[in-house]
Chain A
Amino acid sequence: NAGVTQTPKFQVLKTGQSMTLQCAQDMNHNSMYWYRQDPGMGLRLIYYSASEGTTDKGEVPNGYNVSRLNKREFSLRLESAAPSQTSVYFCASSELAGGNQPQHFGDGTRLSIL
């Protein structure tokens, strides 16, 4: 039982390149989330998907797009990477959106944009 799996674990991009971060969960959870973590700023929600077929913006959605491919998979795309998007990206899932549901996090993708 792998939980939440993120790929890749590390990536270096040049400014202007595009990239898709992949996330898959095997817990049959309905809700999935993408966060970014920057030093001294905690985790900030980029996008979330309360259930299969729906996606909504979080606190910092600009420069990103998401796709909820199916119940298991939720991808995050950077269309034109900028140095300000250098961060650690975490995907998370929960059984249901909001409410009394703990979030289960993946190991993260460490992304550097030069």
Chain B
Amino acid sequence: GQQVMQIPQYQHVQEGEDFTTYCNSSTTLSNIQWYKQRPGGHPVFLIQLVKSGEVKKQKRLTFQFGEAKKNSSLHITATQTTDVGTYFCAGLAGTYKYIFGTGTRLKVLA
């Protein structure tokens, strides 16, 4: 079946360092969403990408959707302790179903 993989599974960074997580799908996606889940919390929607090659920015976060619409990335510049959590991508598979990636757990060391 369709799979969405994320790498790395874990990432520890020093506060102020950059962080990137990559999302790869086995099939072409209609769109991709990114979510953040704080420890013990629930996923919270961050952003959605729809167009091939699309790049969107939210303050220190930069999101990209690949040209082939099979991969995506999230880059955080100058991480802060508030960035701690697990970041998930979710690709639209078919009309209604989103397939979530395995997630990247980010730990920021002060």
Seen from chain A, the residues whose Cβ lies within 8 Å of a Cβ on chain B are 31, 35, 40-45, 48, 50, 56, 58-59, 90, 92, 97-100, 102-108
**Given A40-B9, A102-B45, 15 other A-B residues pairs in contact with their CB atoms under 8 A:** A40-B102, A42-B103, A43-B43, A45-B97, A59-B97, A90-B43, A98-B30, A98-B96, A98-B97, A98-B98, A100-B48, A103-B43, A105-B42, A105-B43, A108-B42
For chain B, the bracket of interface size reads 20 to 34
Say how far A90's CB is from chain B's closest CB, in angstroms.
6
With known contacts A59-B1, A100-B31, A48–B43 Cβ distance under 8 A: no
Residue of A40, A48, A59, A92 touching B96 (CB-CB under 8 A)? A48
> Does B102 lie within 8 Å of A41, measured CB to CB?
yes
Which residue of chain B is the closest to A98 with respect to CB atoms?
B96
Residue of B6, B45, B96, B103 touching A97 (CB-CB under 8 A)? B96
In the assembled complex, the Cα of A20 lies from the Cα of B33 at a distance in Å of 29
- 17 A-B residue pairs with Cβ-Cβ distance under 8 Å, sorted by A, are A31-B96, A41-B102, A42-B101, A43-B90, A50-B96, A59-B1, A97-B95, A98-B94, A98-B96, A98-B98, A99-B92, A100-B31, A100-B50, A102-B45, A103-B45, A103-B98, A108-B42
In the assembled complex, the Cα of A40 lies from the Cα of B100 at a distance in Å of 12
In the assembled complex, the Cα of A17 lies from the Cα of B36 at a distance in Å of 33
Which residue of chain A is the closest to B88 with respect to CB atoms?
A42
A59 / chain B contacts, CB cutoff of 8 Å:
1, 97, 99
Say how far A57's CB is from chain B's closest CB, in angstroms.
10
In the assembled complex, the Cα of A100 lies from the Cα of B102 at a distance in Å of 21
With known contacts A40-B9, A43-B88, A59-B1, A104–B45 Cβ distance under 8 A: yes
B44 on interface, CB distance cutoff 8 Å? yes
> Does A98 lie within 8 Å of B92, measured CB to CB?
yes
A43 / chain B contacts, CB cutoff of 8 Å:
43, 88, 90, 100
Q: Nearest 6 pairs between A and B by C-beta?
A: A102-B45, A105-B42, A43-B100, A98-B96, A42-B100, A97-B96
